[in-house]
Amino acid sequence: MNNINVQNVNNVAQVGGTAVVPSEKEKYLVAMKNHSLMGQAMCTMGDMMLLFTELANAKFQQMSNKMAVARDAQNMANKVEIALTKLAKDGDTAEVPADVIEYLKQNNILVEDMTIDEYVAKHGTSMPKSCLLSIQKSLEHTSGTASDFVQQSQLKLQQLMQNFNTAVTMANSIQSMNAESTKSIAQSIR
């Protein structure tokens, strides 16, 4: 594409006695270079709203993931609690449910600063009350940490929504200013 004369793009230019009509593509490119101030402001507000929407969606996805972690960890802690209730006296042992051990492995949850494999190697899969309580507390701690994250994320999500609403309000103000400006121009033409 050759040089485009921005000022004469909508006019028919005279070149050597022949008329040159700018193409639609050239008109479009010139229009893209000459946004009005209001148009640029609306584009900016649209970009901001899109940004806040994407941030809110990402935060909501994080919250959903952490809610699942909290729920699953609490379910596993409840299974350990059931095993604890089967203990009749202090010296008795109970088998740690296999799905609890698998969950602890998959989620890298430490019990007394050891992986579950290390803990089972040290104590066996049939454990006394104190060991079962340690596993239960580790699971409850994981659940509580995930729940805390969700609560804090709710505040962050609320802040993002307030920022989004501010951008919407600003976009509405820009549209109102544009309408008033257009109205004033139309009245002064009459």
Q: What's the pLDDT tens digit per position in 77-94? A: 999 999 988 887 777 888
- pLDDT score, position 17: 52
Residues 97 and 168 in one domain: yes
Q: Would the pLDDT of 12 be above 60?
A: no
Evaluate whether 56 touches 161 at the Cβ level (below 8 Å). Answer: yes
Tally of structural domains, the chain: 2
Task: For residues 25 and 41, give the distance between their C-alpha atoms in angstroms, rounded to a whole number.
Answer: 24
- The whole-number average pLDDT for the span 9-13 is 46
| Residue 112 shares a structural domain with residue 123 | yes
> How does pLDDT run across 112-130, given as a tens digit for each residue?
999 999 999 999 888 998 9
**Interval 7-34 mean pLDDT:** 60
pLDDT of residue 19: 64
**What amino acid is encoded at 91 in this protein?**
G
Distance CA 165, CA 62 (A): 22
- Residues 13 and 41 occupy one common structural domain: no
The answer to whether the CB of 132 falls within 8 A of the CB of 84 is yes
Highest mean pLDDT among 9-13, 42-46, 62-66: 62-66
What pLDDT sits at residue 190?
Answer: 72
Shared domain for 94 and 60, answered yes or no, is: yes
**What is the per-residue pLDDT for 14?**
46
Dihedral angle at the C-alpha atoms of 126, 128, 133, 136, nearest 10 degrees? 10
Is the same domain home to 95 and 10?
no
Which pLDDT value is given to residue 9?
44
Contacts of residue 135, defined as CB under 8 A and 6 or more positions apart, other chains included, come to 80, 96, 100, 104, 111, 116, 119, 127
111 and 57 belong to one structural domain: yes
Residue 15 has pLDDT above 80, yes or no: no
Whether pLDDT at 73 is above 60: yes
pTM (two decimals): 0.67
Smallest CA-to-CA distance from 136 within 91, 90, 73, 86 is with 73
Helix (H, G, I), strand (E, B) or coil at 40: helix
| Whether 9 and 81 share a structural domain | no
Considering the domain architecture, whether residues 180 and 135 belong to the same structural domain is answered as yes
Residue 108, token pair as written in the block: 């890298």
Tell me: do 162 and 183 sit in the same domain: yes
Mean pLDDT of the chain: 85
* DSSP state letter for 7: T
In the predicted structure, residue 35 carries a pLDDT above the cut 90: no
Do 49 and 83 lie in one domain? The reply is: yes
Give residue 4's domain range. 1-34
Express each pLDDT in 144-186 by its tens digit. 999 999 999 999 999 999 999 999 999 999 899 988 988 998 8
List all residues 6 or more positions away from 110 whose beta carbon is below 8 Å from its beta carbon.
Answer: 138
At residue 16, the 3 state secondary structure works out as coil
Residues 104 and 181 reside in one and the same domain: yes
Domain check: are 49 and 113 in the same one?
yes
